[in-house]
């Protein structure tokens, strides 16, 4: 929730059809609001995983100059 449509699509595209449908249904249900602390924990875990994968050479993170 709250991610750009491009990021949402990139993540959903990496999932299997059944998982994707389930997540899309949850995202459309506006009555489901995850606790803010869980969202923050998930964001931190995603960021640290991306940093670890980058240090292992598994992915390349954009530089600050390219991100602007």
Residues 25-54: tens digit of each pLDDT: 988 988 888 888 998 999 899 999 999 999
pLDDT value for 16:
96
End-to-end CA distance of the chain: 23
For the cut 90, the answer to whether the pLDDT of residue 13 exceeds it is yes
Q: How much is the pTM?
A: 0.60
pLDDT grade for 68, boundaries at 50, 70 and 90: low
* Nearest partner of 12 among 20, 21, 2, judged by Cα: 20
pLDDT value for 9:
93
For the cut 70, the answer to whether the pLDDT of residue 22 exceeds it is yes
């Amino acid at each position: 929730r709250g991610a750009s449509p491009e990021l949402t699509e990139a993540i959903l595209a990496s999932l299997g059809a059944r998982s994707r449908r389930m997540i899309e249904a949850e995202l459309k249900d506006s009555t489901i609001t995850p606790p803010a602390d869980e969202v923050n924990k998930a964001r931190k875990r995603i960021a640290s995983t991306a940093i670890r994968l980058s240090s292992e050479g598994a992915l390349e993170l954009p530089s600050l100059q390219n991100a602007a």
